[in-house]
């Protein structure tokens, strides 16, 4: 009998501190950098974001999201035999966030590793975990996206520092005789690595290079609207579905214009697009599971509905998954 993987539960966690556009603009103004709530909202749709406190890392956020996802699934940590964490802001060079979260949950023994595909990381991690569950190499897998991008932002660059926030989201994947993850597709183009990157590294006990996020916003926008439409159509074709069958599009929450432009290209109305970017900002690999959990707990997404998840990130990486929730 065929085994499929299904989302058994969702969870998320946001650090308590919210930073509104007005508060961020006031902070930048002290350094002579001009921006405004109207400028940020018009270009991105973002109104606020969450920043982690000093000393709080992606492991802290990911652990809380994981515990809430397990509670939602009605499982205990001991039921988990695989943890995959998507992050570009791990607590350490090694060991992985996944290993550190595994230790905190108290479920040692199963596989635990991180996936680094920046904003597309959760799609990558979900696709990997899906393969493990379907091949019976894992039974219940925790898939977590966790980021503390506030730690790598240059607050003298208004074109990037207003975009990002911190947070974590998680899902539990488990076996089912009914299809859950219907199709997925992953892609990358390393030739585009220069348009979105954090090029610093640790060498000889010091940071070598520039350890702040750098982005060519126009280039990213141009690439994003192209690849997101294509990869969405790819997973729909793989699953033998039309876009009309999608109940909810759950995109990477980076920019409202990119999200709605892609939806329009697919014939998906804005009322069928989960939108949390105004409240969370761009939380990179955490943004899709954060948006998913928000929509599930808010009663928008219900069992039996079809979800289209899609994201593009640095690398350049992009991917999509069609999921029967």
pLDDT tens readout for residues 143-183: 999 999 999 999 999 999 999 999 999 999 999 999 999 99
- Judged by DSSP in three states, 264 sits in helix
Average pLDDT over residues 119-130: 98
pLDDT value for 2: 78
Per-residue pLDDT band for 231 (boundaries 50, 70, 90) equals very high
Per-residue pLDDT band for 25 (boundaries 50, 70, 90) equals very high
**Is the predicted pLDDT of residue 215 greater than 80, yes or no?**
yes
Average pLDDT over residues 101-114: 98
* Residues taking part in catalysis: 119, 252, 282
Beta carbons of 308 and 126 less than 8 angstroms apart: no
Sequence ranges of the chain with CATH classification 3.40.47.10:
4-176, 181-324
**CATH architecture entry for 181-324:** 3-Layer(aba) Sandwich (3.40)
pLDDT value for 206: 93
pLDDT value for 128: 98
pLDDT value for 241: 98
Rounded Cα distance between 67 and 291, Å, is: 17
Q: What is the CA radius of gyration of the chain?
A: 19
Per the confidence metrics, is the pTM higher than 0.85? yes
Average pLDDT over residues 185-208: 96
Mean pLDDT across the chain, nearest whole number? 97
* Strands (DSSP E) found in the chain: 4-13, 18-20, 48-50, 82-86, 111-115, 141-148, 166-176, 181-188, 196-197, 201-203, 206-208, 214-215, 248-251, 306-313, 317-324
Strand 201-203 and strand 206-208: pairing? antiparallel
**CATH architecture entry for 4-176:** 3-Layer(aba) Sandwich (3.40)
**Is the predicted pLDDT of residue 1 greater than 80, yes or no?**
no
- DSSP string across 212-258: S-EE-HHHHHHHHHHHHHHHHHHHHHHHT--GGG-SEEEE--S-HHH
Average pLDDT over residues 192-205: 95
């Amino acid at each position: 009998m065929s085994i499929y993987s299904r989302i058994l539960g969702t969870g998320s966690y946001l650090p308590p501190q919210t930073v509104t556009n007005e508060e961020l603009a006031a902070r930048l103004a002290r350094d002579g950098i001009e921006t405004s709530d109207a400028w940020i909202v018009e270009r991105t749709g973002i109104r606020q974001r969450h920043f982690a406190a000093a000393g709080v890392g992606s492991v802290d956020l990911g652990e809380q999201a994981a515990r809430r996802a397990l509670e939602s699934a009605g499982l205990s940590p001991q039921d988990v035999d695989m943890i995959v964490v998507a992050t570009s802001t791990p607590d350490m060079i090694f060991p992985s966030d996944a290993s550190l979260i595994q230790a905190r949950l108290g479920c040692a023994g199963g596989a635990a590793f991180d996936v680094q595909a920046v904003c597309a990381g959760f799609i990558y991690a979900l696709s990997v975990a899906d393969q493990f569950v379907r091949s019976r190499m894992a039974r219940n897998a925790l898939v977590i996206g966790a980021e503390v991008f506030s730690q790598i932002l240059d607050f003298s660059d208004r074109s990037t520092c207003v975009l990002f926030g911190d947070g974590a989201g998680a899902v539990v994947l488990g076996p089912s005789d009914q299809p859950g993850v219907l199709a997925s597709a992953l892609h990358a183009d390393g030739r585009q690595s220069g348009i979105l990157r954090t090029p610093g590294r640790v060498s000889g006990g010091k940071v070598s290079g520039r350890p702040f996020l750098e982005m060519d916003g126009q280039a990213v926008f141009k690439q994003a609207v192209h690849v997101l439409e294509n990869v969405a159509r790819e997973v729909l074709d793989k699953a033998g579905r039309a876009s009309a069958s999608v109940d909810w599009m759950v995109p990477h929450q980076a920019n409202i214009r990119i999200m709605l432009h892609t939806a329009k290209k697919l014939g998906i109305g804005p009322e069928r697009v989960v939108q949390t970017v105004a409240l969370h900002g761009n939380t990179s690999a955490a943004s899709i599971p954060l948006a998913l959990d928000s929509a599930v707990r808010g009663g928008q997404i219900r069992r039996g509905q079809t979800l289209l998840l899609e994201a593009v990130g640095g690398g350049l990486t992009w991917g999509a998954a069609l999921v029967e929730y």
